[in-house]
Chain A
Amino acid sequence: MNHTMNSPRLNAVKVRLSDSAVLAGAVSLLYALALIVCPRAFPELLQRVFVWGHFFPALTVLLVITNEILLVVISRRRAQRLGLFTPVCLAILTIAVVLDFRLLVYAADAQAQLSQLFLRTSSGARNGISSDDLLVYTHLAMVSGIFLPYLLVRVTQNYVSDANPAQHDTKARTAVGAQ
């Protein structure tokens, strides 16, 4: 076990939640700014892209590229070795998060279409999910697509590093003793 823990294979880049939190927060603020500057054009653009069918592929590519760039920046800043495993995991987790939101949005779209078809609850120009709902879903997908994959990677790293807590306690107590 100790041999496994000390092997260079596990000396991969360590991410912290605060790294992705800053990026997710900045993206969220930019989203709010876009809505403030273009209160009508921005939702209509999103709706148009959604109707064309390019919405989720574009969102997936954007988030995967953003997360990978952030991982490279983190590893360079901390001078740690970036293997292949973490970027691949991060990309898969990002795609999984966006897929979840895709299911949610399509379910909401189908529900809205069905309610308009049978109950005639809305008199909107286009049947389906409303611009407001799509706006909120997009915001949540962008924030979650950045924050949640890093959270899962972080939890996995905690799990690996907590495999030998006695070693951690000894190190920390030695540091306190040195102070």
Chain B
Amino acid sequence: MRVWIPIGALWWLGSYAAFGVFALWLLWKRKGGTGLASSPRKLFQRGELGLFGLLVAVPVVLDLRRSDLPTQLILTNTVILVFSGLMAASAWLEDYSRVSRGLASPDHRTWVDSSKLLFLVLSVAFTTEVLLEHSAEVWQR
């Protein structure tokens, strides 16, 4: 059994995780974001990770459009990716609406929802990239 390494998809996932989350957190810490905001949980407590999830979905949709897959498959995959991204962004939107109405913001719940929904978007996006790379590489060897 020969293991296949999807280098492009791994590079894609690593760069998004590094630049999207950890670089932002490190930048925040360098600018003096100490104390309460010194952890990613405190920095993204308002559900900003959900917005990041929506941003992650967009380049995968563009990659899908460039692929050789059938149109209905591209459309189905796009709908599911965008839908997951929108659900992730809704964690931030829900918190923002609560705060703007003067209601209590459940910080813990917002963080948990946004991080878990970001995990879903990242997983689906990563697997989609793996599938695209697989169709381009493996059968052509």
Contact = CB atoms under 8 A, between A and B. Distances in A.
Given A36-B6, A39-B4, A132-B135, A26 B123 contact: yes
A136 B69 CA distance: 9
Interface size class of A (residues with CB under 8 A): 35 or more
Interface in A127-179: 131-133, 135-137, 139-140, 143-144, 147, 151, 169, 172-173, 175-176, 179
B72 A132 contact: no
Contacts of B112: 18
B23 interface: no
A173 B102 contact: yes
Contacts of B101: 169
B4 A136 contact: no
A24 B124 CA distance: 9
Contact of B120 (A16, A24, A140, A175): A24
Interface in B75-108: 76-77, 80, 84, 87, 98, 101-104
B119 interface: yes
Contacts of A37: 1, 3
Interface stretch (B25-33, B37-45, B54-62, B125-133): B125-133
Interface of B: 1-6, 9, 69-70, 72-73, 76-77, 80, 84, 87, 98, 101-104, 112-113, 116-117, 119-120, 122-124, 126-128, 130-131, 134-135, 138-139
Interface of A: 16-19, 21-22, 24-26, 28-29, 31-32, 35-41, 104, 107-108, 111, 131-133, 135-137, 139-140, 143-144, 147, 151, 169, 172-173, 175-176, 179
